[in-house]
Chain A
């Protein structure tokens, strides 16, 4: 287990460095210059040159990369080229929106997907098994922003029981309003996410239900439910956990679209704005944080899989 842990950590760090390089290179491949976002039509060539010098975008790419890498290693994400504010605090200021949104949506999605998925598999022979499956299929095809718009139309514009968007200026200092603002976005993300999760849970469960050990357990006197509960669920969980880690990462990134639909001041809106303005430090900062999150979640997912499944532990040790 220890050697596995070490190997897996080395891979994690290697991936982070690769991601940082890729991020930097890809961003610089985009045509354009951040100085353009700062200057209005009517700016003189001298003004443009002065702005490029000030922003440091006139330096060579390797030089820019080394400066950035040095800053990142010292935990300094730099300053926004456009707002001139430090990027680190800018990102932390957005986390109270994006993190609760992602986690709540994730938990809700699991709470929906696990029972529905198991039911769809266990009752594959009854009429509602296939119906649940078909509904989940449909859910996968529907984009998140559309679900968001439908929910806004129903609950904010017609019933008027929830806000259509926004986040209180006081943030969590005003918990009632903050929670209210997050209800619809959380449900939106959770619904879309659970749709694909249901399918994974269903197929994992189906795979387990036909297994020999369940038949054996029943032969030894367990009821079908007891047998599944005691032996099936844990086996079905292994592939689902791998998917869950990936799904959590997708949710985090998927929040970009949903935040825009609900006018939430989260990481997503920061990222979109940063990209449109070529604000390299902001985009690099947000992407680095998200990439790190995704990689760490994947890492934890792998560890969790090993904890659940002793077979993987043994294989890893050999």
Chain B
């Protein structure tokens, strides 16, 4: 009886949403184009503005779905034109001319013009912007709009990742007032309703310029408890979970043909980050010793079972400059002891490891402590909150060693910044990374970043413990969902429910 009631309600809801999106009252749930995809996630947006601290959740829900950039980062890691139809780069690499696609409309009905593009980029570089991309766009000197369909950007230095960086920048309606609770983009969906603490719905946008979404809409359901999220999937309250955070729950899905567990390629690295500026970690030999003393593979298995990937450096496999470097400073306690002796610390030493209080850091810290004890190094685990990490470690640099997950793709370039929190300073690496950014071709860029990546691995700038798995679990009736979750995005428009 209650099941019937729930089913009727679900039908009603789907019908209502389909009606909002397509105005097609006769749509039936059997028709996959009328299906509303129910997505489960633990990342609720903090607000809806990605320049005002919206967080990972806002990217997941809105990037590519509601908002589009001039370019897009595909699920496989390539950058493709989206709202830009054409781009021309001057010979000196300093002037970019973008021609906008015709017939693009915002959800409010206004046509996209070059003024919107200019305003959108300026939102990210504005003084009060909280965007992580702000520093990447510091190379922009001027933005001009000779006509409605043309945007000319003048750079102060060559920047080969400029186009890639533009894929993070949402083109918003310049006239839109409050984007923290409303949205006005050009994507295949418009924002439905955001029930804070519960759901966020998107409905198909009929005036979309490109290939329309293959479903009538998406509802993101937000959970604070991973078990509650998995239970929702088990009871068909959601169709897909964007990112499983623990392997414990996976067995119930792998053993059930009604579900598909997808092992995608992640970009999140778990780092044991040393403060490379302070003793004893200012000596590469000490860092190499620590790296060699920890059995990363065993750690990965103890936390993720058969999932995840050992990684020898900062570059994840989806970055174009990836190289398997797991053999550099590989696990070997004998080498570790020898390196310690080389560094003048044959009897070991002790250090404090600032460990964020949330999973998997405490588990990993305990493992590291026991591994390092075997080579005579004593670890004092100091548990801190995420917030303390930000203040103590990131801002004040008041630490010896810490653990942190670094989620972004293409973030090896941080090792070129001697002022970054881990304080790694190798002029050669800094120069390579700078040259890579100013490279003329992507081949040149790739070659330089490969070199830099190899060098940081040899210097053991940090110890890269492992690469997180990116696990999407979905009902087997679902297809067309993204697998790799790069930059935390989750394109919903190709999802089909049979």
Give the interface of A toward B (CB within 8 A).
Answer: 30-33, 36-45, 47-48, 50-51, 54, 82-85, 90, 93-94, 149, 152, 156-157, 160-171, 174, 176-177, 180, 260-263, 265-266, 269-270, 272-273, 276-278
- Inter-subunit contact A31/B228 (CB<8 Å): no
B224 contacts the other chain (CB 8 A): yes
**How far apart are B463's CB and chain A's nearest CB, in angstroms?**
18
The majority secondary structure among interface residues of chain B is mixed
Contacts A51-B53, A261-B225, A261-B228 given; 12 further ones with Cβ under 8 A?
A31-B385, A38-B46, A40-B130, A42-B414, A43-B132, A47-B130, A51-B130, A54-B128, A165-B232, A177-B6, A180-B6, A269-B224
> A33-B387, A42-B132, A167-B198 are known contacts. Are A260 and B52 too (CB-CB below 8 A)?
no
| CB 8 Å contact bits of B104-134 with A (1 = contact, 0 = none) | 0000000000000000000000011111101
Binds A, one of B313-321, B323-331, B389-397: B389-397
- Inter-subunit contact A36/B391 (CB<8 Å): yes
Q: Which residue of A lies closest to B5 (CB)?
A: A176
**B161 surroundings in chain A (CB, below 8 A):** none
**How far apart are B30's CB and chain A's nearest CB, in angstroms?**
22
Measured in the bound complex, the distance between the Cα atoms of B193 and A144 in whole Å is 32
Q: Which residue of B lies closest to A262 (CB)?
A: B228
**B391 surroundings in chain A (CB, below 8 A):** 31-33, 36
B201 contacts the other chain (CB 8 A): yes
Q: Which residue of B lies closest to A45 (CB)?
A: B395
- Inter-subunit contact B198/A83 (CB<8 Å): no
The 3 closest A-B pairs by CB, nearest first: A38-B53, A32-B387, A265-B197
**How far apart are B197's CB and chain A's nearest CB, in angstroms?**
4
Sample (6) of A-B pairs whose CB atoms are under 8 Å apart = A30-B387, A39-B390, A156-B235, A165-B232, A263-B221, A273-B44
- Inter-subunit contact A37/B46 (CB<8 Å): yes
> A47-B129, A85-B180 are known contacts. Are A270 and B197 too (CB-CB below 8 A)?
yes
- Inter-subunit contact B134/A152 (CB<8 Å): no
Give the interface of B toward A (CB within 8 A).
Answer: 2-3, 5-6, 9, 13, 44, 46-47, 52-53, 127-132, 134-135, 180-181, 193, 195-199, 201, 219, 221-225, 227-229, 231-232, 234-235, 237, 385-388, 390-392, 394-395, 404, 406, 414
**B390 surroundings in chain A (CB, below 8 A):** 32-33, 36, 39
**A261 surroundings in chain B (CB, below 8 A):** 225, 227-228
**A42 surroundings in chain B (CB, below 8 A):** 132, 135, 414
**A269 surroundings in chain B (CB, below 8 A):** 197, 224
**How far apart are B354's CB and chain A's nearest CB, in angstroms?**
12
> A37-B46, A38-B52, A180-B5 are known contacts. Are A31 and B388 too (CB-CB below 8 A)?
yes
- Inter-subunit contact A36/B135 (CB<8 Å): no
- Inter-subunit contact A36/B130 (CB<8 Å): no
- Inter-subunit contact B225/A260 (CB<8 Å): yes
Measured in the bound complex, the distance between the Cα atoms of B197 and A273 in whole Å is 9
**B129 surroundings in chain A (CB, below 8 A):** 47
> A169-B219, A273-B224 are known contacts. Are A164 and B234 too (CB-CB below 8 A)?
yes
Measured in the bound complex, the distance between the Cα atoms of B227 and A41 in whole Å is 28
Contact of B234 among A157, A276, A278 (CB under 8 A): A157
Contact of B132 among A41, A168, A171 (CB under 8 A): A41
Contact of B394 among A41, A90, A171 (CB under 8 A): A41
> A31-B387, A161-B3, A269-B197 are known contacts. Are A50 and B127 too (CB-CB below 8 A)?
yes
- Inter-subunit contact B231/A272 (CB<8 Å): no
Max chain B Cβ within 10 angstroms of own Cβ: one of A93, A168, A270 = A168
Measured in the bound complex, the distance between the Cα atoms of B443 and A309 in whole Å is 88
> A42-B132, A166-B237 are known contacts. Are A265 and B196 too (CB-CB below 8 A)?
yes
- Inter-subunit contact A44/B135 (CB<8 Å): yes
- Inter-subunit contact B47/A37 (CB<8 Å): no
- Inter-subunit contact B130/A38 (CB<8 Å): yes
Measured in the bound complex, the distance between the Cα atoms of B198 and A94 in whole Å is 10
Measured in the bound complex, the distance between the Cα atoms of B129 and A85 in whole Å is 18
Measured in the bound complex, the distance between the Cα atoms of B198 and A265 in whole Å is 5
Measured in the bound complex, the distance between the Cα atoms of B130 and A142 in whole Å is 44
Measured in the bound complex, the distance between the Cα atoms of B128 and A47 in whole Å is 7
**B13 surroundings in chain A (CB, below 8 A):** 168-170, 174
- Inter-subunit contact B6/A169 (CB<8 Å): no
- Inter-subunit contact A278/B195 (CB<8 Å): no
Contact of B387 among A36, A156, A266 (CB under 8 A): A36
- Inter-subunit contact B237/A164 (CB<8 Å): yes
- Inter-subunit contact A39/B228 (CB<8 Å): no
**How far apart are B320's CB and chain A's nearest CB, in angstroms?**
20
**How far apart are B251's CB and chain A's nearest CB, in angstroms?**
14
Q: Which residue of B lies closest to A169 (CB)?
A: B199
Measured in the bound complex, the distance between the Cα atoms of B229 and A167 in whole Å is 13
